[in-house]
Amino acid sequence: MKILGRHLIAEFANCDNCRLTDVDYLKDCLEEAVRKSGATIVRSVFHRYNPQGVSGVVVIAESHLSIHTWPEYNYAAVDFFTCGDTVDPYKAYDHMKAMLASDEAHVYELKRGIPSETDEVLAHKPAQIQFDNAATSR
């Protein structure tokens, strides 16, 4: 695979369910996780469901972090997708585990990229693509 990024998929169990319903708390936690990882925040969007649960995404210059919570099961699913070699998604993972007060967590790492016979990490480079402003403003 021609590796463009790393995608951590985290399962956080036995979390503090009060934290899993607090949109502001989760937004602050995920944004701090971004900072701890060395990534750059672009924009955050969070939504609280009725009667419970939260989904949120923090778009970063290096890809995204996202969360979805099930307070009724004391569970959160969190993704950390990062590109480049300057970001450490495991720092974000450690921060979220602590902030959710999860006492049982599992993390899986996937390499993301272009299928290939050999493994190599591709360097990110400036795009050579010319964008049509009308197409990108839709």
Enumerate the active-site residues.
Answer: 63, 68, 83
Residue 70 contacts residue 64 (beta carbons within 8 Å): no
Question: For residues 43 and 22, what is the distance between their CA atoms, to the nearest angstrom?
Answer: 19
**Which amino acid is residue 95, in one-letter code?**
H
Q: What is the DSSP string of 49-66?
A: -SSS-EEEEEEETTEEEE
Q: Give the three-class secondary structure for 32.
A: helix
Phi-psi region of 113 (alpha: psi -120 to 50; beta: other; left: phi over 0): left
